[in-house]
Structures are given as structure tokens and as C-alpha cells.
Amino acid sequence: MRFLSSLFVVAVVASPAFAIDYVCKVRDTGDGFISPVLALQFEPSAKTALVYDSIVHAVHGKPISAKLKDRGNGKYRFTYRVNNIPANPRPARIGYRIELDTNTKRVIVRGSMPGVTNSFNGNGTCEVGQLPSK
């Protein structure tokens, strides 16, 4: 809960007035490396977005940039990579792909590591709100 509160504070402080903000609750359906809470901020006409979750927080401490693709009909794809994720026996590098359907408020999260055939998966629901700027 403390992380969710911090996530909301970061989203409020970082939000430009024209961006759309989503906070998503995600259920991990795989083997980990999927955060239970995910924040997305984007402008529909832009090519990049901001992504923030517990894994990004552990590595960067702040939202990171993601590539944004408008897939039409209110569907968007976010892609990004997180390096140096704390893991044993050595830090992990995971590429993430998020599929957001703004009509149904559903989200699908997939993560993959180089050289590993299995992927990390999660799905959930999002809430939207126009968060105020500073």
C-alpha cells in the first residue's frame, strides 16, 4: 500500500495537464517479475510514454520512458527494457510489452529475458483519471 501511495504522488507531481494517466492493478500469471501495480502516462498522439512500477522503482527510483504505439480503436502498446533488476545469481535484464485497451480498461503485461524461452505474464484492470499538474 505504501508503494501505491508513493506511485500516486509521483504521478501527480510528474503529470503534464494534457497527459492521460492510468493506474493498473496487475495479477502475475507467470513466474514473477510482474509488478502488482503499474502506472502509465501518455499523450495519445505521442511516440513515447512514461511507465512506473515496483521493478522500475527498484532500479531507477522514478518513471522511465517507453515506446508508445497507437494500435487503433483505443488500444496502445508500450515497450521498454529494464536492466540490472535485482535477482540471483546475477542482475536480470527484461524487456516488457504492455497492451492497454482504453475502452475496456484491461491491461496485459509480458516480460521476456534474453536467452530464456519462458515469458513473464500478467493481466489486470486500470483506472483512468486526469491528474492535475503541479
- For residue 118, what pLDDT is reported? 87
Looking up residue 119, the CATH number of its domain turns out to be: 2.40.160
Domain extent for 116: 2-129
Degrees to nearest 5, angle at CA 72 with 68 and 78: 20
Higher pLDDT, 83 or 20: 83
Name the residue among 2, 66, 61, 67 with its Cα closest to residue 37: 2
Banded pLDDT at 87 (limits 50, 70, 90): confident
Instruction: Examine residue 118 and state whether it is found in any structural domain, yes or no.
Output: yes
| Distance from C-alpha of 7 to C-alpha of 99, rounded to nearest angstrom | 20
| Mean pLDDT, residues 35-42 taken together | 95
- For residue 28, what pLDDT is reported? 95
Residue 104: HSE in the Cβ half-sphere, 13 Å Cα cutoff: 12
Positive or negative, the CA dihedral 70, 23, 132, 12 is negative
Name the residue among 24, 16, 25, 26 with its Cα closest to residue 49: 16
Q: What is the mean pLDDT of the chain?
A: 85
Q: Is the pLDDT of residue 109 over 90?
A: yes
Instruction: Examine residue 134 and state whether it is found in any structural domain, yes or no.
Output: no
| Mean pLDDT, residues 84-94 taken together | 90
Instruction: Examine residue 82 and state whether it is found in any structural domain, yes or no.
Output: yes
Q: Is the pLDDT of residue 9 over 90?
A: no
Contact yes or no for 50/110 (Cβ under 8 A): no
Instruction: State how beta strands 20-28 and 119-129 pair.
Output: antiparallel
Q: Is the pLDDT of residue 8 over 90?
A: no
Instruction: Examine residue 17 and state whether it is found in any structural domain, yes or no.
Output: yes
Higher pLDDT, 100 or 19: 100
Number of domains comprising the chain: 1
- For residue 88, what pLDDT is reported? 85
Banded pLDDT at 134 (limits 50, 70, 90): very low
Instruction: Examine residue 113 and state whether it is found in any structural domain, yes or no.
Output: yes
Higher pLDDT, 1 or 105: 105
